[in-house]
Structure 1
Amino acid sequence: MAVEDVRNYFDGFGIADRLIEFEVSSATVELAAQALNCAPERIAKTLSFNLKKAQRTILIVAAGDAKIDNPKFKQAFSERALMLKAEEVEEKIGHPVGGVCPFAIKEDVAVYLDESLKRFDTVFPACGGPKSAIELTIPELEQYAQSTQWVDVCKGWE
Protein backbone atom coordinates (compact mmCIF):
# COMPACT_ATOMS: atom_id res chain seq x y z
CA MET A 1 0.00 0.00 0.00
CA ALA A 2 1.35 3.44 -0.96
CA VAL A 3 0.64 5.01 2.46
CA GLU A 4 2.81 2.34 4.08
CA ASP A 5 5.56 3.05 1.53
CA VAL A 6 5.45 6.73 2.52
CA ARG A 7 5.36 5.85 6.23
CA ASN A 8 8.47 3.68 5.75
CA TYR A 9 10.11 6.46 3.74
CA PHE A 10 9.44 8.98 6.52
CA ASP A 11 10.60 6.46 9.13
CA GLY A 12 14.05 6.80 7.56
CA PHE A 13 13.96 10.49 8.52
CA GLY A 14 12.44 9.87 11.95
CA ILE A 15 9.15 11.63 11.15
CA ALA A 16 6.76 8.75 10.39
CA ASP A 17 4.76 9.65 13.51
CA ARG A 18 3.80 12.98 11.87
CA LEU A 19 1.85 11.27 9.07
CA ILE A 20 -1.88 11.96 9.48
CA GLU A 21 -4.55 9.47 8.42
CA PHE A 22 -8.20 10.50 8.22
CA GLU A 23 -11.52 8.70 8.53
CA VAL A 24 -12.76 10.83 5.62
CA SER A 25 -11.40 11.39 2.12
CA SER A 26 -8.69 13.98 1.54
CA ALA A 27 -8.40 13.11 -2.16
CA THR A 28 -9.04 16.65 -3.44
CA VAL A 29 -7.81 20.05 -2.30
CA GLU A 30 -11.26 20.90 -0.93
CA LEU A 31 -11.66 17.60 0.94
CA ALA A 32 -8.14 17.79 2.36
CA ALA A 33 -8.72 21.36 3.56
CA GLN A 34 -11.94 20.24 5.28
CA ALA A 35 -10.24 17.24 6.89
CA LEU A 36 -7.37 19.41 8.13
CA ASN A 37 -9.50 22.46 8.96
CA CYS A 38 -7.15 24.72 7.01
CA ALA A 39 -7.31 27.07 4.03
CA PRO A 40 -7.36 25.20 0.69
CA GLU A 41 -4.33 27.10 -0.61
CA ARG A 42 -2.18 25.44 2.12
CA ILE A 43 -2.81 22.02 0.58
CA ALA A 44 0.30 21.10 -1.43
CA LYS A 45 -1.22 19.34 -4.41
CA THR A 46 0.99 17.12 -6.52
CA LEU A 47 0.33 17.14 -10.26
CA SER A 48 1.81 14.52 -12.57
CA PHE A 49 2.90 15.14 -16.16
CA ASN A 50 4.42 13.31 -19.09
CA LEU A 51 7.23 15.08 -20.89
CA LYS A 52 7.11 13.39 -24.29
CA LYS A 53 10.23 15.01 -25.78
CA ALA A 54 12.30 14.24 -22.70
CA GLN A 55 10.58 10.84 -22.33
CA ARG A 56 10.08 11.19 -18.60
CA THR A 57 7.47 11.74 -15.94
CA ILE A 58 7.58 14.70 -13.58
CA LEU A 59 5.67 15.89 -10.54
CA ILE A 60 4.92 19.51 -9.78
CA VAL A 61 3.94 20.31 -6.21
CA ALA A 62 1.88 23.52 -6.07
CA ALA A 63 -0.36 25.42 -3.67
CA GLY A 64 -3.98 24.35 -3.56
CA ASP A 65 -5.22 27.55 -5.21
CA ALA A 66 -2.67 27.49 -8.05
CA LYS A 67 -3.41 26.32 -11.58
CA ILE A 68 -0.92 25.31 -14.25
CA ASP A 69 -0.16 28.20 -16.59
CA ASN A 70 0.43 26.57 -19.98
CA PRO A 71 2.76 29.27 -21.41
CA LYS A 72 4.89 29.21 -18.23
CA PHE A 73 4.99 25.41 -18.29
CA LYS A 74 6.08 25.39 -21.93
CA GLN A 75 8.78 27.97 -21.19
CA ALA A 76 10.10 25.91 -18.25
CA PHE A 77 9.99 22.48 -19.91
CA SER A 78 10.10 23.26 -23.66
CA GLU A 79 6.82 21.46 -24.29
CA ARG A 80 3.17 21.79 -23.41
CA ALA A 81 1.68 20.47 -20.18
CA LEU A 82 0.32 16.95 -20.64
CA MET A 83 -1.08 15.49 -17.43
CA LEU A 84 -0.94 11.75 -16.89
CA LYS A 85 -4.20 9.92 -17.47
CA ALA A 86 -5.80 8.65 -14.26
CA GLU A 87 -5.09 5.04 -15.21
CA GLU A 88 -1.36 5.81 -15.69
CA VAL A 89 -0.74 7.57 -12.40
CA GLU A 90 -0.20 4.68 -9.99
CA GLU A 91 1.96 2.74 -12.45
CA LYS A 92 4.22 5.70 -13.31
CA ILE A 93 4.34 7.44 -9.92
CA GLY A 94 3.72 4.72 -7.36
CA HIS A 95 0.67 6.29 -5.70
CA PRO A 96 -3.03 6.28 -6.61
CA VAL A 97 -4.99 9.32 -7.77
CA GLY A 98 -6.02 11.26 -4.66
CA GLY A 99 -2.87 10.29 -2.80
CA VAL A 100 -0.16 11.37 -5.22
CA CYS A 101 2.73 12.95 -3.37
CA PRO A 102 6.45 13.54 -3.92
CA PHE A 103 7.52 10.93 -1.33
CA ALA A 104 8.45 7.26 -1.92
CA ILE A 105 7.93 7.59 -5.66
CA LYS A 106 9.44 5.72 -8.60
CA GLU A 107 13.14 6.50 -9.03
CA ASP A 108 12.90 8.00 -12.51
CA VAL A 109 10.33 10.67 -11.55
CA ALA A 110 11.66 14.21 -11.09
CA VAL A 111 10.02 16.52 -8.55
CA TYR A 112 9.63 20.28 -8.99
CA LEU A 113 8.23 22.67 -6.38
CA ASP A 114 6.20 25.62 -7.64
CA GLU A 115 6.83 29.16 -6.39
CA SER A 116 3.19 29.33 -5.21
CA LEU A 117 4.22 27.35 -2.10
CA LYS A 118 6.83 29.83 -0.87
CA ARG A 119 4.27 32.17 0.74
CA PHE A 120 3.49 29.62 3.49
CA ASP A 121 5.39 28.54 6.59
CA THR A 122 3.87 25.06 6.39
CA VAL A 123 1.87 23.11 3.82
CA PHE A 124 0.02 19.79 3.74
CA PRO A 125 0.92 17.32 0.98
CA ALA A 126 -0.78 13.93 0.68
CA CYS A 127 1.07 10.81 1.78
CA GLY A 128 0.33 8.10 -0.75
CA GLY A 129 -3.38 7.58 -0.18
CA PRO A 130 -6.69 9.46 -0.43
CA LYS A 131 -7.02 9.75 3.36
CA SER A 132 -3.53 10.94 4.32
CA ALA A 133 -1.40 14.06 4.77
CA ILE A 134 1.55 15.50 6.64
CA GLU A 135 2.35 19.05 7.72
CA LEU A 136 5.78 20.17 6.53
CA THR A 137 7.71 23.41 6.53
CA ILE A 138 8.90 24.53 3.10
CA PRO A 139 12.53 23.52 3.86
CA GLU A 140 11.25 20.10 5.01
CA LEU A 141 9.21 19.75 1.82
CA GLU A 142 12.34 20.52 -0.22
CA GLN A 143 14.31 17.92 1.70
CA TYR A 144 11.79 15.08 1.82
CA ALA A 145 10.51 15.58 -1.73
CA GLN A 146 14.10 15.45 -2.96
CA SER A 147 13.10 18.23 -5.30
CA THR A 148 15.04 18.83 -8.46
CA GLN A 149 14.36 22.57 -8.41
CA TRP A 150 11.84 25.39 -7.92
CA VAL A 151 9.77 26.43 -10.93
CA ASP A 152 7.24 29.17 -11.68
CA VAL A 153 4.61 27.37 -13.75
CA CYS A 154 1.35 28.31 -12.03
CA LYS A 155 -1.17 31.13 -12.06
CA GLY A 156 -4.21 32.22 -10.11
CA TRP A 157 -2.58 32.38 -6.70
CA GLU A 158 -0.88 35.78 -6.88
Structure 2
Amino acid sequence: MALGTPATVSLDAHGIPFTPHPYEHSSTAAEFGREAATELGIDPQRVFKTLMVAVDDELVVAVVPVSGKLDLKALASAINGKKAVLADPQIAQRRTGYIVGGISPLGQKTAHRTVIDETAELFDTVFVSGGKRGFDIELAPSDLARATDATFAAIARDNLHQ
Protein backbone atom coordinates (compact mmCIF):
# COMPACT_ATOMS: atom_id res chain seq x y z
CA MET A 1 0.00 0.00 0.00
CA ALA A 2 1.35 3.43 -0.94
CA LEU A 3 0.56 4.89 2.49
CA GLY A 4 2.18 2.11 4.50
CA THR A 5 3.33 3.51 7.84
CA PRO A 6 4.35 1.92 11.14
CA ALA A 7 0.70 2.46 12.19
CA THR A 8 -0.73 0.42 9.31
CA VAL A 9 2.00 -2.21 9.68
CA SER A 10 1.08 -2.54 13.37
CA LEU A 11 -2.62 -2.96 12.59
CA ASP A 12 -1.87 -5.54 9.90
CA ALA A 13 0.36 -7.43 12.36
CA HIS A 14 -2.49 -7.49 14.91
CA GLY A 15 -4.99 -8.58 12.22
CA ILE A 16 -7.08 -5.49 12.94
CA PRO A 17 -9.28 -4.15 10.14
CA PHE A 18 -9.03 -0.46 9.30
CA THR A 19 -9.87 1.93 6.50
CA PRO A 20 -7.14 4.30 5.26
CA HIS A 21 -8.21 7.89 4.57
CA PRO A 22 -5.59 9.98 2.76
CA TYR A 23 -6.41 13.65 2.24
CA GLU A 24 -4.72 16.75 0.90
CA HIS A 25 -2.68 18.28 3.73
CA SER A 26 -2.12 22.04 3.59
CA SER A 27 1.33 23.27 4.63
CA THR A 28 -0.40 26.23 6.31
CA ALA A 29 -2.63 24.08 8.55
CA ALA A 30 -2.10 24.77 12.24
CA GLU A 31 -4.64 22.36 13.73
CA PHE A 32 -3.95 19.04 12.06
CA GLY A 33 -6.88 17.13 13.58
CA ARG A 34 -9.41 19.78 12.61
CA GLU A 35 -7.91 19.84 9.13
CA ALA A 36 -8.46 16.07 8.88
CA ALA A 37 -12.09 16.41 10.02
CA THR A 38 -12.76 19.16 7.49
CA GLU A 39 -10.96 17.49 4.58
CA LEU A 40 -12.62 14.11 5.23
CA GLY A 41 -16.06 15.62 5.98
CA ILE A 42 -16.19 13.90 9.38
CA ASP A 43 -17.72 15.15 12.64
CA PRO A 44 -14.76 16.47 14.71
CA GLN A 45 -16.04 14.45 17.68
CA ARG A 46 -15.07 11.27 15.75
CA VAL A 47 -11.57 12.49 14.84
CA PHE A 48 -9.04 11.98 17.65
CA LYS A 49 -5.68 13.68 18.14
CA THR A 50 -2.70 12.01 19.75
CA LEU A 51 -0.83 13.94 22.43
CA MET A 52 2.31 12.98 24.34
CA VAL A 53 2.14 13.94 27.99
CA ALA A 54 4.66 13.71 30.80
CA VAL A 55 2.81 12.39 33.86
CA ASP A 56 5.20 12.56 36.78
CA ASP A 57 8.25 10.80 35.24
CA GLU A 58 6.41 8.77 32.59
CA LEU A 59 5.54 9.64 29.00
CA VAL A 60 1.91 8.78 28.31
CA VAL A 61 -0.15 8.88 25.11
CA ALA A 62 -3.50 10.67 25.35
CA VAL A 63 -6.04 10.26 22.55
CA VAL A 64 -8.78 12.89 22.62
CA PRO A 65 -11.35 14.28 20.16
CA VAL A 66 -10.18 17.25 18.09
CA SER A 67 -13.44 18.96 19.07
CA GLY A 68 -12.23 19.18 22.66
CA LYS A 69 -9.13 19.65 24.75
CA LEU A 70 -7.08 17.32 26.90
CA ASP A 71 -7.77 17.70 30.63
CA LEU A 72 -4.29 17.22 32.08
CA LYS A 73 -5.55 16.72 35.65
CA ALA A 74 -8.04 14.07 34.50
CA LEU A 75 -5.30 12.22 32.60
CA ALA A 76 -2.99 12.25 35.63
CA SER A 77 -5.84 10.99 37.80
CA ALA A 78 -6.73 8.26 35.27
CA ILE A 79 -3.29 6.69 35.65
CA ASN A 80 -2.87 7.46 39.36
CA GLY A 81 -0.36 10.21 38.67
CA LYS A 82 0.04 13.58 40.32
CA LYS A 83 1.11 16.11 37.69
CA ALA A 84 0.75 16.14 33.90
CA VAL A 85 2.26 18.51 31.34
CA LEU A 86 2.41 18.31 27.57
CA ALA A 87 5.66 16.71 26.45
CA ASP A 88 8.22 18.67 24.48
CA PRO A 89 7.41 18.18 20.75
CA GLN A 90 11.01 17.09 20.02
CA ILE A 91 10.79 14.38 22.69
CA ALA A 92 7.39 13.28 21.36
CA GLN A 93 8.82 12.97 17.86
CA ARG A 94 11.89 11.06 19.04
CA ARG A 95 9.93 8.63 21.23
CA THR A 96 7.14 7.94 18.73
CA GLY A 97 9.07 7.98 15.46
CA TYR A 98 6.48 10.35 13.98
CA ILE A 99 6.48 14.09 13.25
CA VAL A 100 4.14 16.50 15.04
CA GLY A 101 0.87 16.62 13.13
CA GLY A 102 1.33 13.00 12.12
CA ILE A 103 1.81 11.31 15.48
CA SER A 104 -0.29 8.16 15.57
CA PRO A 105 -1.16 6.25 18.73
CA LEU A 106 -0.37 3.12 16.67
CA GLY A 107 3.01 1.66 15.77
CA GLN A 108 5.09 4.02 17.90
CA LYS A 109 8.83 3.42 18.09
CA THR A 110 8.60 3.09 21.89
CA ALA A 111 5.45 1.68 23.48
CA HIS A 112 3.80 4.02 25.98
CA ARG A 113 0.87 3.70 28.31
CA THR A 114 -2.14 4.95 26.33
CA VAL A 115 -5.42 6.45 27.49
CA ILE A 116 -8.28 7.09 25.06
CA ASP A 117 -11.05 9.51 25.93
CA GLU A 118 -14.18 7.54 26.76
CA THR A 119 -16.25 9.43 24.15
CA ALA A 120 -14.58 7.24 21.51
CA GLU A 121 -16.82 4.42 22.69
CA LEU A 122 -19.90 6.36 21.53
CA PHE A 123 -19.00 5.67 17.89
CA ASP A 124 -18.78 2.51 15.79
CA THR A 125 -15.56 3.86 14.30
CA VAL A 126 -13.17 6.72 15.02
CA PHE A 127 -10.36 8.38 13.08
CA VAL A 128 -6.76 8.74 14.27
CA SER A 129 -3.58 9.80 12.54
CA GLY A 130 -2.18 7.14 10.29
CA GLY A 131 1.38 8.23 10.97
CA LYS A 132 1.83 11.13 8.59
CA ARG A 133 0.21 14.46 7.88
CA GLY A 134 -2.63 14.01 5.41
CA PHE A 135 -3.41 10.42 6.38
CA ASP A 136 -5.97 9.18 8.91
CA ILE A 137 -7.03 5.66 9.81
CA GLU A 138 -10.62 4.70 10.61
CA LEU A 139 -11.15 1.80 13.00
CA ALA A 140 -13.35 0.60 15.84
CA PRO A 141 -12.52 2.15 19.23
CA SER A 142 -12.20 -1.32 20.76
CA ASP A 143 -9.65 -2.26 18.07
CA LEU A 144 -7.70 0.94 18.73
CA ALA A 145 -7.60 0.07 22.42
CA ARG A 146 -6.53 -3.51 21.69
CA ALA A 147 -3.75 -2.44 19.31
CA THR A 148 -2.34 0.09 21.79
CA ASP A 149 -3.16 -1.79 25.01
CA ALA A 150 -5.08 1.33 26.02
CA THR A 151 -7.66 2.10 28.65
CA PHE A 152 -10.67 4.39 28.29
CA ALA A 153 -11.21 7.30 30.71
CA ALA A 154 -12.81 10.75 30.80
CA ILE A 155 -9.72 12.77 29.86
CA ALA A 156 -11.15 15.42 27.52
CA ARG A 157 -13.26 18.45 28.06
CA ASP A 158 -15.38 20.28 25.54
CA ASN A 159 -13.84 23.43 24.09
CA LEU A 160 -17.14 25.22 24.73
CA HIS A 161 -17.02 24.68 28.50
CA GLN A 162 -13.59 25.95 29.52
For 2:139 and 2:14, the matched residues in 1 are separated by: 13
Residue 156 (structure 1) aligns with? 158
Residue 71 to residue 14, structure 1, CA distance change in 2 (3 Å): closer
Residue 62 (structure 2) aligns with? 60
Residue 126 (structure 1) aligns with? 129
Residue 140 (structure 1) aligns with? 143
Instruction: Note the C-alpha offset of 1:50.
Output: 1.2
Residue 29 (structure 1) aligns with? 33
Sequence identity of aligned pairs in percent?
23
Residue 119 (structure 2) aligns with? 116
TM-score by length of 1: 0.82
Residue 102 to residue 30, structure 1, CA distance change in 2 (3 Å): same
3-state SS, counterpart of residue 19 of structure 1: strand
| Long gaps (5+) in structure 2 | none
| 1:64 alignment partner AA | V
Are the equivalent residues in 2 in contact too, given 1:66–1:116 (CA < 8 A)?
A: no
Displacement over 3 Å in runs of 4+: 13-17
The CA RMSD over aligned residues, in Å, is 2.5
Q: Which segment is superposed worse, 9-18 or 88-97?
A: 9-18
| Long gaps (5+) in structure 1 | none
Q: Deviations over 1:107-134 (max 9, x none)?
A: 3411111112222221100011111111
TM-score by length of 2: 0.81
Between the two proteins, the alignment pairs up a number of residues equal to 154
Residue 72 (structure 1) aligns with? 74
For 2:60 and 2:72, the matched residues in 1 are separated by: 15
Higher strand proportion (structure 1 or 2): 2
3-state SS, counterpart of residue 87 of structure 1: helix
2:23 is the counterpart of 1:19: no
For 1:17 and 1:40, the matched residues in 2 are separated by: 19
Instruction: Note the C-alpha offset of 1:19.
Output: 2.3
Are the equivalent residues in 1 in contact too, given 2:47–2:65 (CA < 8 A)?
A: yes
